[in-house]
Structure 1
């Protein structure tokens, strides 16, 4: 839900200046067009939420929206350029991979509003929405330490990768745990993908066998694998993006 609200926010802010200085009557009659440049639907829960939020906003405000899926970073550039050439009123990038091209296009197309989600770019012409993942992860760490309550000083974490974005989750979680359990030790494993359910499940089981009673899952679509392992082995866990306890 957080991702949906953020997409709505970006669209609302961008549209507020899309027709700045124009005649209100003519602006009201114009059908606004918007393109969401994103990874393919199904890549991760994050992407699914972003697409759902975009489509919801378009339906709510009568915007003619188009979801443009990109298989890799190179397609972000080519698809964003194509959208700009087609004259969309609003172009949104739904990943850090779109940062460079969105910034470049914003300097060229003054009549198009640009936004990007999940990263920050150094351009006053781009509306950016980013998250303080480390703060949320810190709270999860505090909850983990309170939940385990000294029964074990071993904590686990299943992560997408060793990237900078993943580091914010790892660092925040570890610092939250250490604030209450200074003897804590951590095992971090990486699935190196956004939909690695089976691997996340296996790694979580391995961490449990090493004595981890709380295993934080930051594996995107792989979180369902960690949750299933938690159900089977009876350890504690937490996920991200959406509530998976109802799945």
Structure 2
């Protein structure tokens, strides 16, 4: 009887052992290793806004494709400010080791999430606190959008035939002021007599509002319009297309929106997100402030020789070199703009 019991126990152990071997994780034949997770929380406008959020997702998805055997990437869309906190919490709850917050409007919610989850890593685009208040588990990524906007402002100022250009912003204040001021400064640097119309839609996802604002600017004489308005900028492109005036895109190459695209100001969110995510995967993540401008290839513009003449490009190249060297410091706020414009008059 004892031998029979021992035999039955051995058989049971073998069966259980084989079942465990079939279902356990790992890199061998026993099963697939558990993938690490990175989740991105979008700002308002959605992941397919053809601008800011889409550029961020392009960077994260390319990172995911390159490391599909090790990591899974995903996104959660925010449709209003009320979505930020629960979306960040959901990303953590879903097991993301790295969570990206795309947009400065999530600053408070991101800070709270990072403080409450010190074992997770986070990244945020377009916002950073004072260095003394930076959290060790957050990568803060900020760009010198004013430098890239200055370059497309030069192009606008040298291209306009009516001496009248426009800027359409999404939400006033915050980072968008850098786009506005840099563009304004660039236009005036090469065309002091030009009029620069400025208006904000106070929305990132209102295409009709963008078209309405741009149409009014065109009716008031603008023949080049630059936007930093997320999905609202699609409406700006539509207005430029209908009126056959120049459109300047933002964040990514937006030439697909209209054949009248003169250029686009490139903001390389994709590269920043991909690079920092790669560092995280390789255990090299650094909680610090990353500042990316022309010198760091963090911003730039799309050059199309069929749209931008050699003479115009030569002027842009000259200014770009001076910005990179520090000879020219582009203003980043309306408070700095008057002194910069006065310095141009003195030259």
Q: Is TM-score (shorter-chain normalized) higher than 0.5?
A: yes
Whether the aligned pair in 2 keeps the contact of 1:159 and 1:166 (CA below 8 Å) is yes
Other-structure match for 2:140: 128
Whether the aligned pair in 2 keeps the contact of 1:35 and 1:65 (CA below 8 Å) is yes
Alpha-carbon distance between aligned partners in 2 of 1:110 and 1:93, rounded to the nearest angstrom: 16
Other-structure match for 1:226: 236
Q: Could you give the per-residue CA deviations for residues 123-169 of structure 1, whole angstroms, max 9, x where no partner exists?
A: 23211222211111111111111112xx4332222221322222111
Alpha-carbon distance between aligned partners in 1 of 2:88 and 2:213, rounded to the nearest angstrom: 37
> Which runs of 5 or more structure 2 residues have no equivalent in the other structure?
1-26, 28-32, 258-347
For residue 42 of structure 1, report the CA deviation from its aligned partner: 3.8
Distance 1:147 1:65, change over 3 A: same
> Which runs of 5 or more structure 1 residues have no equivalent in the other structure?
1-24
Alpha-carbon distance between aligned partners in 2 of 1:75 and 1:83, rounded to the nearest angstrom: 12
Asked whether 1:81 is paired with 2:89, we answer yes
Other-structure match for 1:112: 120
Q: Map 1:60-99; keep pairs closer than 5 Å.
A: 60-62=66-68, 63-99=71-107
Alpha-carbon distance between aligned partners in 1 of 2:82 and 2:208, rounded to the nearest angstrom: 29
Q: Could you give the per-residue CA deviations for residues 157-201 of structure 1, whole angstroms, max 9, x where no partner exists?
A: 222132222211111111111111222222112222223223322
Q: TM-score, normalised by structure 2?
A: 0.56
For residue 33 of structure 1, report the CA deviation from its aligned partner: 1.7
For residue 230 of structure 1, report the CA deviation from its aligned partner: 2.4
Other-structure match for 1:155: 165
Whether the aligned pair in 2 keeps the contact of 1:145 and 1:177 (CA below 8 Å) is yes
Whether the aligned pair in 2 keeps the contact of 1:44 and 1:195 (CA below 8 Å) is no
Question: Which of 182, 188, 191 is the aligned partner of 2:192?
Answer: 182
For residue 43 of structure 1, report the CA deviation from its aligned partner: 5.1
Q: TM-score, normalised by structure 1?
A: 0.77
For residue 219 of structure 1, report the CA deviation from its aligned partner: 2.6
Q: Greater share of helix residues, 1 or 2?
A: 1
For residue 111 of structure 1, report the CA deviation from its aligned partner: 2.5
Other-structure match for 1:144: 156
Please identify the structure whose Cα radius of gyration is greater: 2
Other-structure match for 1:41: 47
RMSD: 2.4
For residue 229 of structure 1, report the CA deviation from its aligned partner: 2.6
Other-structure match for 2:175: 165
Pick which of 63-72 and 132-141 moved more. 63-72
Other-structure match for 2:17: none
Whether the aligned pair in 2 keeps the contact of 1:44 and 1:194 (CA below 8 Å) is no
Other-structure match for 1:103: 111
Q: Secondary structure at the match of 1:88?
A: coil
Other-structure match for 1:50: 56
Question: Which of 7, 25, 31 is the aligned partner of 2:35?
Answer: 31
Aligned residues: 218
